[in-house]
Amino acid sequence: MEHSKQTTGGARPVRRVVIAGGGTAGWMAAACISKVLGKRLDIKLIESDEIGTVGVGEATIPTLVHFHKLLEINEQEFMAATKATFKLGISFEGWRNVKEDYIHSFGMTGTDHWTAGFQHFWHKGRERGLAGDYGDYCLELRAAQEKRFAHLPRDGMNYAYHLDATAYARFLRQFSERHGVQRIEGKIVDVTTSALTGHIRSITLDSGADIEGDLFIDCTGFRALLIGQAMKVDYEDWSQWLFNDSAAAVQTMSVGEAVPYTRSIAHGFGWQWRIPLQHRVGNGIVFSSRYAGEEQAIQALMDNVEGEALMKPRVIKFTPGQRRQVWKGNCLAIGLASGFLEPIESTSIHLIQRSIVRLMQMFPSDGISQSDVDEYNKQAWTEIEHIRDFIILHYHVTNRGDTPYWRDARNMDVPASLRHKIDLFRETGRVFRISNELFAENSWIQVMLGQGVMPASHHQAADLMGDIELSQFLGSIKGSIDKTVSQLPSHQQYVERYCKSPM
């Protein structure tokens, strides 16, 4: 598609929604829009069986549980259909230093006081020799270590999923079609825009069909056929902070029980993921082409997988960053078309979900308002900047210096917003969550402690407790968690009982 034709036209109420592209992003958008507004809208999704999807976003975070509740999706049906397992966090292996590991888990750690977070009381306990590891006071982390899982009363266990991304798109397609979405097979060969408004008027397919619409959602992946090529929205490159620009993925047979966490294994030039599903394991290596070639990275990956490979490794190239606008005119980009942050914290599907929920909150039924577009873009930009900073943290705060990759990451200049958070925690032990920020205080604390940052001080409220009181406070939390974890079944047993896939 070298150019876009232009025609004239005006603004209009949104009644026809055209989703360009399928995959996880396209079918999540179709599912949500059709479930909520399907009776009022004409919704079409264009995808081609000949164009593959990236399809490696197989690890999620707990927000997807809430998304499914909004759509009234049955969890057992979804998990069986996508051969899913449960996820309680991520095991970061070799990130702080070679052969030093930690877990970033979901949920809360300990009990906060209104003046100070639990980490201050834990820090005081460590000084006095009264406290164990920070993770000893987090239920989800301890359950992950013991490879146990169960649903608890009153949503007492925070969890997410490992899932087959291709099967998930198929599951959502069936859901969407039941709610009136029309799927159109075809490749996009042209986009017609209005000379008067600059809005997209129609999409032309290789069959010659013109698909008209009022709102176009770009889910065409890295190609960004609508937001990038037709609407000419620039892309901001974040490679100065996020060195990785390549990934190689491969699937292997399962050779053991599925664990309830994602494994993130650091290498000298990147990191490797291992995601256990019911029927197989998803593997991949994320790396920087400045520090390693494709063959070297693939060899490192294949040397560190378990089980027979089910496919040849495939390489994906990307540029970390974000579109300067994710909504322009009547075109909204969702998923890879809008930007990409590597999957280290499993945020890809979350960002798709947030984009869709934000659209539903601002849905332009009576016509597209520039103030809505501006607010949407502002929120999207702020949100991904917060996530970007959290991801940079993993590379910058490390004791590793064994390779040029890690030395350069440790010595790079980081965004001022991240520098402030690191300095604040290192000096005072304090972490403050910004409004609408995805990662809460506990996530920042777990990763900063895990990567080797120990606060120099703690809040004086912790000093008001004597040794006996502090020991009892910490001991009661740990004891309660230990008791709960000991009563949980193994994760493998629970999955087989609750949502076993027919394979």
pLDDT in tens, 161-171: 999 999 999 99
Bridge partners of residue 124, in order along the sequence: none
User: Range of 211's domain?
Assistant: 5-58+164-236+320-368
Q: For residue 502, is pLDDT > 70?
A: yes
Of residues 107, 157, 156, 155, the one with CA closest to residue 135: 107
Q: What CATH code is carried by the domain that includes residue 170? A: 3.50.50.60
Q: Are 265 and 154 within 8 A, CB to CB?
A: no
Burial pattern 289-328, b for ≥16 Cβ within 10 A else e, equals bebbeeeebbebbeeebeeeeeeebeebebebbbbebbbb
pLDDT tens across 355-401, in order? 999 999 999 999 999 999 999 999 999 999 999 999 999 999 999 99
Q: Are 162 and 56 within 8 A, CB to CB?
A: no
What are the CA-CA distances from residue 354 to residues 26, 34, 142 (Å)?
13, 16, 29
Of residues 161, 140, 139, 144, the one with CA closest to residue 76: 161
Q: Are 91 and 103 within 8 A, CB to CB?
A: yes
Compute the chain's Rg from CA coordinates: 24
Residue 140, token pair as written in the block = 């989800």
Residue 416: inside a domain: no
Beta-carbon contacts of 218 under 8 Å, excluding residues fewer than 6 positions away, are 20, 21, 224, 225, 226, 227, 331, 332, 333, 334, 337, 338
Q: Quote the mean pLDDT of the chain.
A: 94
Residue 480: inside a domain: no
Bridge partners of residue 182, in order along the sequence: 44
Give the E-state strand segments of 355-493 in sequence order. none
Q: For residue 6, is pLDDT > 50?
A: no
Percent of the chain scoring above 70 in pLDDT = 96
What are the CA-CA distances from residue 465 to residues 274, 431, 448, 480 (Å)?
43, 22, 25, 20
Distance CA 127, CA 467 (A): 11
Q: What is the pLDDT, as a whole number, of residue 54?
A: 57
Residue 245: inside a domain: no
For 201, the enclosing helix (H) or strand (E) is strand 200-205
Angle formed at CA 345 by CA 342 and CA 350, multiple of 5 degrees: 90
Q: Are 333 and 226 within 8 A, CB to CB?
A: yes
Q: Which SS3 state, helix, strand or coil, does residue 457 take?
A: coil
Number of helices and strands (H, E) in the chain?
14, 22
Of residues 167, 193, 184, 150, the one with CA closest to residue 80: 167
Range list of H helices, 106-189: 118-127, 139-146, 165-178
pLDDT tens across 36-49, in order? 999 999 999 999 98
Bridge partners of residue 327, in order along the sequence: 332
Q: Give the residue-averaged pLDDT of 18-38.
A: 96
Q: Are 485 and 148 within 8 A, CB to CB?
A: yes
Residue 198: inside a domain: yes
**How many separate domains does the chain show?**
1
What are the CA-CA distances from residue 182 to residues 175, 177, 201, 333 (Å)?
12, 6, 19, 20
Of residues 83, 79, 102, 107, the one with CA closest to residue 91: 102
> 3 or 306, which is more confident?
306
What are the CA-CA distances from residue 437 to residues 341, 345, 384, 441 (Å)?
16, 14, 9, 10
What are the CA-CA distances from residue 442 to residues 101, 117, 118, 272, 474 (Å)?
18, 9, 9, 24, 17
pLDDT tens across 89-130, in order? 999 999 999 999 999 999 999 998 888 999 999 999 999 999
Interhelix angle 467-486/118-127, nearest 10 degrees: 110
Q: What is the pLDDT, as a whole number, of residue 53?
A: 59
**Residue 74: pLDDT band with limits 50, 70, 90:** very high
Lowest mean pLDDT segment, chosen from 20-24, 55-59, 88-92, 487-491: 55-59
Q: In 10 A of CB 338, how many CB atoms?
A: 26
Residue with tokens 């999923």: 161
pLDDT tens across 176-189, in order? 999 999 999 999 99
Q: Which SS3 state, helix, strand or coil, does residue 465 take?
A: coil
Distance CA 198, CA 376 (A): 19
Percent of the chain scoring above 90 in pLDDT = 91
Task: Give catalytic residues, as residue numbers.
Answer: 87
Q: For residue 215, is pLDDT > 90?
A: yes
Lowest mean pLDDT segment, chosen from 2-6, 219-223, 469-473, 477-481: 2-6
pLDDT tens across 406-431, in order? 999 999 999 999 999 999 999 999 99
Give the E-state strand segments of 21-144 in sequence order. 42-47, 85-87, 89-97, 100-105
